[in-house]
Chain A
Amino acid sequence: MPGVVTVSDLRTGYGGDDIINGVSFDVHPGEILTIVGPNGSGKSTLIKSLAGIVPARQGTISLFGENVTALKTPQRIAKGLAYVPQEFNVFRNMTIAENLKLSTEFLGLRSHDGNQERTRVLEMFPDIADRQDLLAGNLSGGQRQMLAFACALISSPEVLLLDEPSAGLSPKLVIEIFEKVKAVNELGTTIVMVEQNVAASLPFSDRAIVLVNGAIRHESSAAELSARGDLHELFLKEA
């Protein structure tokens, strides 16, 4: 099956060190692909590289068959990608309304009618819909995450990249967030998410990749990975 996102031999990192060491994988249309792994395995670096925030040093990233490796983040966003960072994922000094408005203003032809788009996403996130004059910095962690989702979805992206959407949330909110991720996926958006919370995220995922020390250690269906009894060893054993 051709991938909506195809990553080939990707090598990237910060400073003089490579964090991701020659990773290759495909993201299939309409799936939720979850990348799990221990702390420091390079999950966030990998997803930032897909979003164009950390440039690739080697290899290619293709979106719908088009090589986007050299494109910067705004250009990838214009091609149908959306990215929600792990933390600091809303503009804290702006209101909810301003955050949403900003998300429609720089998308060129992808956003014909900002108001219509805002109304559509607010229907999906009623928690934030009736408090639009509130500063985003004053929202709870769960509400901030909802606003970040809403801002990313306002452009109706084909592919949504999520960096640890459950980070810092209470167990009840974690399930709510993953239910929302599933609902967004069921509307046709392909999702790639990086997660530390393996137990909570896999039931909502179609496929999973285990990343250890910047390399893929395991790739299978999420159900198959969930069923394995040796997750601990898979995460921790030396390569």
Chain B
Amino acid sequence: MGQLLINGLGTGLIVALPSIALSLSFGILKFPNFAIGAMLTTAAYIAWSLNIHAGLPLLAAGALCIILFPMVALLCDAAVFRPLRSRGPVTLLVASMGLSFVLDNVCRLIFGNDARNFDIALSRPYRVWGLRINYELLVSAGVSIGAMILVFLILKHTSIGRAMRAVADNPNLAAARGIDAKRVIAATWILAGVLIAASGVLIGMDRAIDPQLGWNYIIVCFAAAILGGLGNPAGAVFGALLLGVVGELATLVVATNYRSGVGFLVIALVLLSRPNGLFGTREIVK
């Protein structure tokens, strides 16, 4: 039971980062970014290339990936989303699906279909009160928690963070306060890029990297963001942790194949009683 809890929290912490990115993009850019899975895959491959081909240690490769990937995110915005910004959320959602296929296939074209692994030394798990805790799990937890704290400090205590919250709340009023939406959109992509890159590296440490990597996480990222209340980054973290833990604990009573199903059952039950998610607020449309 304790082991399942630890594993569930570990999974939840890794998923929390792209879920925050998804929640931010939904709140500020006003569309659900379906390309988030393919972006995770791309970030993992960038880190893998830096680690294996450039010969950088994983820590340096991961850090460089976190610096470089926001530029990829900005490029995606400039090429795909910016020209379609005024067309509304459905158009942007469809465009993000298209981007997803493009990124996936670029990865497939460059890196092939074979599974790849980081150059990472195998280590014996630590034993604490009879529980096995992997080195990778500790790194994942540390990076995820650090990144989450950083995001919340940025949102709460910096002017660009306040501007991001303002645009998410009321774009017209934000403009009337002199806030330049372009600057906020760029900051959102940079922050989302950092989170996606960090998560891509952590997922690559946890499992093999292949062109399908992102597809395994996209549904759970959406589920976490929706469960927490779309547009609410703290809610996305809670949703990711809850789904991770429920998924693992479910294996006590159902076959492991069905653990995702149990997570979605939880979502269905939550949304039936709280249609805007656990921490979502009802949108007032005038």
Contact = CB atoms under 8 A, between A and B. Distances in A.
B257 interface: no
A175 interface: no
Nearest to A101: B162
B170 A155 contact: no
Contacts of B178: 74, 77-78, 103, 106-108, 155
A53 B175 contact: yes
B170 A91 contact: yes
Nearest to A78: B178
Interface stretch (A35-43, A79-87, A126-134, A205-213): A79-87
B159 interface: yes
B178 to A, nearest CB: 4
Contact of B173 (A52, A89, A107): A89
A74 B170 CA distance: 14
Q: Which of A85, A87, A94, A106 has the most CB of B within 10 A?
A: A106
Given A52-B175, A77-B178, A82-B176, A102 B170 contact: no
Contact of B169 (A74, A85, A91, A151): A91
Interface in B136-170: 159, 162-163, 165-166, 169-170
Interface residues of B, number: 18
A148 to B, nearest CB: 9
Contact of A74 (B162, B179, B286): B179
A93 interface: yes
Interface residues of A, number: 31
A144 to B, nearest CB: 12
Contacts of B172: 53, 73, 85
Contact of B177 (A77, A87, A92, A108): A77
Nearest to B177: A103
Given A88-B286, A91-B169, A91-B170, A53 B176 contact: yes
A9 interface: no
A138 to B, nearest CB: 13
Contacts of B175: 52-53, 72-74, 77
Contact of A106 (B165, B173, B177, B286): B177
Interface of B: 159, 162-163, 165-166, 169-170, 172-173, 175-181, 284, 286
9 contacts: A72-B175, A74-B180, A77-B176, A77-B178, A85-B172, A87-B286, A94-B162, A101-B159, A155-B178
Q: Which 6 A-B pairs have the closest CB atoms?
A: A73-B175, A106-B178, A105-B159, A77-B178, A83-B176, A74-B178
